[in-house]
Chain A
Amino acid sequence: MKIFIHRTRICLDKRLYCATIKLSDKRLRNRTSPPKSMKHNPETILSLQRIAKRIRIESVRMIANAGSGHPGGSLSEADILAALYFHVMRIDPKNPAWEDRDRFILSKGHACAGLYATLALRGFFPIEQLATFRCCGSILQGHPDMKKTPGVEMTAGPLGNGLGAGVGMALGARITGKTFRVFVLIGDGDAQEGCTWEAAMLAGHQKLNHLICIYDYNRSQVDGRTDEIVSLHPVEEKWLAMNWDVRKIYGHDFTQILDAFVWSCQPRQKPAVIIAYTIKGKGVSFMEDNAAWHGKAPNKEQLEWALKELAEEEN
């Protein structure tokens, strides 16, 4: 079996985060991060961890089954999706068209395996449907189709558009007097597209304080590391310059994720962005931080190995 495993990567998670944090301006960090973590119910955290594992397992399985798809981004966003759909968002899977529901947009539409797994686990459609991912006649398209999949709020795929769609929904809430919140998950590809910054500028100007962007900052794209292709650094300053409130977290730590969502949903004057430092392919050693797994399906052997690792982690 020729699978390159570097277990050390998992152990390095926290150190990697610390190292990236060190890169940024200390003063800025003090401004954007509250000093103390809030107390969260340990059972909630444990339950979310388990859900995130299920999301990862289902994502990898459905991509392998389809023979194509995007495991890297689906794995990096899993913890954020678990927190949103199982703790933060006001939604009703039995009534996906409920007018007052919170909205979620996956701007990085290629990572939809993670979203589909989440929606199925949350009860928007039967979990058996996941086996039809990317098949002719399926409700689960290769990139999200809001007219085909219950719970998908916006069609996505071409990067850089999700934040603008979220801006539209947030403006719609304001005009119609609704109080729902709009969450948009973007990735590095979105952040390289100019349209994201058109939306960010307008959201800042319009003070869309019920718009929350989560940036799945895994610093990796199809061709390699963002720092080697087109660097996104400095990230925080970009959003501050667009008149957003900014908070940085490690995107695989539920205490920090939940802290950040509590913070982002507090009454504020500006839109909020959570910059989640994440690891592409998180949870499967040979996919972790490896751009080669951006858009490649694991073969049978690799799937077995991946599922074994994910199951191990659960124990």
Chain B
Amino acid sequence: MANALLKPMRVAFGETLLELGAEIPNLVVLDADISSSLHTFHFAQQYPNRHINFGVAEQNMMISAAGLATTGLIPIACTYATFATMRACEQIRSFICYANLNVKIAASHGGIEVGWDGPTHQATEDIAITRAMPNMTVVSPADAIAASALLRQVIQHQGPVYFRMGRNPVPILYDKNQPFSIGKSIRLHNGVHLTLVATGVMVSIGLEVVERLAQHGIQAGLIDMHTIKPIDQDAIIEAAQQTPLIATLEDHNIVGGLGAAVAEILSEACPRRILRFGVPDVFSESGNPKDLFRKLGMDAESITHRIMQSIALNPELRG
């Protein structure tokens, strides 16, 4: 499944939007001065009448998106994850989600994977914020193929959606024919000792962790949890029934994100030991994402090491 090809999700996003522009006449793209970064300029050039650049005014973009949705259009508001979910948080919560309007929010630069721009531009709370909003659907694709396929579903979906992408090129994991469905996770590996539940850019790191653990005789399962809300409860409970240990992998604060969502479900339905990998409730810093991931224990090597330690310390986990 894995190969060496790399592609940023936002590039696939821009390409798919252009295709969707031809297919869906009431699709409207909204930008806040970063159409070059989110690759929405393709759409803007092809469909200038259905593209509005709000300038650097994310709050106005979100509230206008709510207004646009009332006229039967499908607005997709595009910006970085920090600005979407924090600068324009109230507009999303009180006007898009509360009113349950058909607005799509596309955000790139989710997580510390942003790297060099530093913590002001690294969204590590956006999943927690959007997940806590009733009526919201939260989608976080793992590669360019998933971004494209899931975007098509997001546009077809009725109601508010938060679509989270990373900034950097990530390995292509999926075949073009891979089916995707909002709310239905994808099992990439079956495990015996533990199951990794990963989202976004952490799915490809999860694949590496599976390989590394296999070298030590530990068979890890892997689930791509591309929809964080509504989360695929059945898949999580099934994994917990199959393996005694669950590890969650997310490029997000471990508070309130995927790890929290999984813990919430399992503590009620099927208590299991859970290891949460992600940003350990700190602000990161500027730097090469690889260095930042290593520093915060989010790279494949650190994750593998901590999992093995945990299994060594807990005889009941050895299976």
Contact = CB atoms under 8 A, between A and B. Distances in A.
A164 B59 contact: yes
A90 interface: no
B70 interface: yes
B225 to A, nearest CB: 30
A201 B68 CA distance: 17
A185 B4 CA distance: 57
A206 B64 CA distance: 13
Interface string A140-157: 000001110000011101
A232 interface: no
B21 to A, nearest CB: 13
B116 to A, nearest CB: 28
Contact of A202 (B57, B65, B68, B100): B57
A89 interface: no
Interface stretch (B90-98, B124-132, B138-146): B90-98
B94 A157 contact: yes
Given A161-B95, A195-B63, A202 B54 contact: yes
Contact of B68 (A99, A169, A194): A169
A172 B71 CA distance: 6
A168 B49 contact: no
A115 interface: no
Given A176-B72, A201-B57, A202-B54, A168 B90 contact: no
A168 B65 contact: yes
A167 B90 contact: no
Contacts of A123: none
A171 B54 CA distance: 12
A169 B52 contact: no
A4 B59 CA distance: 42
Given A157-B94, A161-B91, A202-B54, A195 B66 contact: no
A146 B28 CA distance: 22
A196 B177 CA distance: 46
A181 to B, nearest CB: 13
A158 to B, nearest CB: 5
A175 interface: yes
Nearest to A168: B67
Contacts of A201: 55, 57
B50 interface: yes
Given A147-B100, A195-B59, A199-B63, A168 B94 contact: no
A178 B75 CA distance: 17
Nearest to B64: A168
Contacts of B95: 154-155, 161, 165
Interface string A295-312: 000000000000000000
Contact of B63 (A146, A168, A206): A168
Interface string A192-204: 0011001101100
Contacts of B59: 161, 164, 194-195, 198
Interface residues of A, number: 31
Residue picked from B49, B65, B99, most chain A C-beta under 10 Å: B99
A175 B70 contact: no
A138 B72 CA distance: 27
A166 B64 CA distance: 7
Contact of A155 (B50, B55, B98): B98
Contacts of A157: 94
Given A169-B71, A172-B73, A173-B71, A155 B64 contact: no
B63 to A, nearest CB: 4
Contact of B72 (A153, A172, A198, A202): A172
Given A178-B71, A195-B60, A168 B54 contact: no
A146 B99 contact: yes
Contacts of B55: 201-202
A165 B71 contact: no
Nearest to A174: B49
A161 to B, nearest CB: 5
Contacts of B50: 175
B66 A165 contact: yes
A179 to B, nearest CB: 12
Contacts of B54: 198, 202
A161 B63 contact: yes
Given A195-B63, A202-B57, A168 B68 contact: yes
Nearest to B100: A147
Nearest to B56: A198
Nearest to A164: B63
A175 B57 contact: no
Nearest to A180: B71
Contacts of B57: 198, 201-202
A168 B100 contact: no
8 contacts: A164-B91, A167-B64, A168-B63, A171-B52, A175-B28, A176-B72, A178-B71, A206-B52
Sorted nearest first, the 8 A-B pairs with minimum C-beta distance are A168-B67, A172-B71, A168-B64, A164-B63, A198-B60, A198-B57, A165-B67, A168-B68
Given A155-B99, A175-B50, A175-B68, 12 more contacts: A146-B99, A155-B95, A161-B59, A161-B95, A165-B63, A167-B67, A168-B66, A170-B67, A171-B64, A195-B59, A198-B54, A202-B54
